[in-house]
Amino acid sequence: MGVREEVLGLALAAQRASRDMANLSSGVKNSLLLRMATALEAAQDELQRENEKDLQQARENGMAAAMVDRLALTPERIKGMADGLREVAALPDPVGEITGMWLRPNGIRVGRQRIPLGVIGIIYESRPNVTADAAGLCLKSGNAVILRGGSEAIHSNRAIGSILQQTLAAEGLPQAALQVVTTSDRSAVTELLKLEDQIDLIIPRGGEGLIRFVSENSRIPVIKHYKGVCHTYVDAAADLTMAEELCLNAKVQRPGVCNAMETLLIHADVAAEFVPQISAAMRQAGVELRGCEKARAIQGDMIPATEEDWHAEYLDLILAVRVVDSYNQAREHIQTYGSLHTEVIVTNDYQRSQQFLREINSSVVMVNASSRFSDGNQLGLGAEIGISTTKLHSFGPMGLEDLTTRKFVVLGEGQVRN
Binding region for a second copy (CB under 8 A): 19, 22-23, 102, 104, 108, 110, 113, 115-118, 200-201, 215-216, 219, 221, 239, 242, 245-246, 248-249, 253, 335, 357-359, 361-370, 372-374, 378-380, 390-397, 405-417
CA 71 remoteness from chain centre: 19
Q: Helices 327-337 and 350-359 meet at what angle, rounded to 10?
A: 20
CB 367 to a second copy: min, Å: 5
**Alpha-helical segments (H) within 253-292:** 268-284
CB-CB contact of 77 with 69 (8 Å): no
DSSP 181-228: -----THHHHHHTT-TTT--EEEEES-HHHHHHHHHH-SS-B------
Task: Identify which of residues 163 and 252 has a Cβ nearer to a second copy in the complex.
Answer: 252
**Contact present, 400 and 141 (Cβ < 8 Å):** yes
Give the angle 211-213-218 at the CA atoms, nearest 5°: 95
Helix, strand, or coil here: 254? coil
| Least separation in angstroms between CB 221 and a second copy | 4
Neighbour tally for 101: CB within 10 Å: 12
Smallest distance from the beta carbon of 277 to a second copy, in angstroms?
A: 16
Query: Least Å distance between CB 360 and a second copy?
Result: 9
Residue nearer to a second copy on the CB measure, 274 or 395: 395
Identify whether the C-beta of residue 396 lies closer than 8 Å to the C-beta of residue 363. Answer: yes
Taking the complex as a whole, the smallest distance from the CB of residue 275 to a second copy amounts, in Å, to: 20
Question: Which residue lies nearer to a second copy by CB, 107 or 304?
Answer: 107
Identify which of residues 25 and 38 has a Cβ nearer to a second copy in the complex: 25
Nearer to a second copy, 49 or 104 (CB): 104
Rounded Cα distance, 37 and 39, in Å: 5
Say if residues 144 and 177 touch (Cβ distance below 8 Å).
Answer: yes
Residue 373 DSSP code: G
| Least Cβ distance, residue 239 to a second copy (angstroms) | 7
| Of 186 and 358, CB closest to a second copy | 358
* Complex with a second copy: residue 275 or 365, whichever CB lies closer: 365
Side chain identity, residue 243? A
Q: How far is the CB of 335 from a second copy (least distance, A)?
A: 6
For the CB of residue 42, give the shortest distance to a second copy in the complex, in Å: 33
Comparison of 78 and 369: residue with beta carbon closer to a second copy: 369
Q: In sequence order, what DSSP letters do the residues of 79-113 get, joined into one string? A: HHHHHHHHHHHHSPP-TT-EEEEEE-TTS-EEEEE
Taking the complex as a whole, the smallest distance from the CB of residue 248 to a second copy amounts, in Å, to 8
In angstroms, what is the minimal distance from the CB of 387 to a second copy? 10
Q: How far apart are CA 102 and CA 112, in angstroms?
A: 9
Single-letter code of the amino acid located at 385: I
Give me the half-sphere count of Cα atoms (radius 13 Å) on the Cβ side of residue 142. 23
Checking DSSP bridges between strand 396-398 and strand 386-388, what pairing results, if any?
A: antiparallel
In the bound state with a second copy, the residue whose beta carbon lies nearer, of 114 and 296, is 114
Q: Which is nearer to a second copy, 50 or 375 (CB)?
A: 375
